[in-house]
Amino acid sequence: MSNRSKNIDRYWKKNIQIVSILLLIWFLASFGFGIIFANNLDEISFFGFKLGFWFAQQGSILIFVAIIFVYIGLMKNLDHQFNKDRDD
């Protein structure tokens, strides 16, 4: 395998890794806390909200925004690394 295709391969594997971890968080924040475990979380009171209800109607959305910005940051670094390796 040439250096070039090794670089591409490494980039793609790392990319898949980043996306998988972030999607796991995405799943937990919405389907996990907002739906599946929502009734258990409702026992906890959070600034006047039941916690499960808050995740379903507010919290999950805020976490979604955070996930995308973490992704933008991580990918920026990864792109940078990729371009450096390619130019070497």
Partner 1 sequence: MTYLFVGISFGLYVFIAIKSRAGSTNEFYIAGKGVHPIANGMATAADWMSAASFISMAGLISFMGRDGAVYLMGWTGGYVLLALLLAPYLRKFGQYTVPDFIGTRYYSTTARVVAVICLIIVSFTYVAGQMRGVGIVFSRFLEVEIELGVIIGMGIVFFYAVLGGMKGITYTQVAQYCVLIFAYLVPAIFISILITGNPIPQFGFGDRLIDQDIYLLEKLDLIMSDIGFQPYTSGLKETIDVFCITAALMLGTAGLPHVIVRFFTVPDVASARRSAGYALIFIAILYTTAPAVSSFARYNLFESTHNVSYQQAPEWFKNWEDIGLIAWRDKNNDGLIQYAPGNAFDPVKPKYLDSNGEFGERIIVNNSQVSSNNEVYIDRDIMVLANPEIAELPPWVIALVAAGALAAALSTAAGLLLVISASVSHDLIKKTLATNISEKKELFYARFSVFIAVIIAGLFGIYPPGFVAQVVAFAFGLAAATLFPALLLGIFTKSINKEGAVSGMLAGLIFTLGYIVYFKFLNPEMNSSLNWLWGISPEGIGTIGMLINIFVSIMVSKFTSKIPYEIEELIDNIRQP
Binding residues vs partner 1 (CB under 8 A): 8, 11-12, 15, 19, 22-23, 26, 30-31, 34-36, 42, 46-50, 53-54, 56-58, 60-62, 64-65, 67-69, 71-72, 75-76, 78-79, 82-83
Shortest Å distance, C-beta 20 to partner 1: 10
20, two tokens? 């998988």
Q: What is the dihedral of CA 40, 19, 71, 25, to 10 degrees?
A: 10
Shortest Å distance, C-beta 76 to partner 1: 7
Cβ atoms 38, 53 nearer than 8 A:
yes
8, two tokens? 């591409």
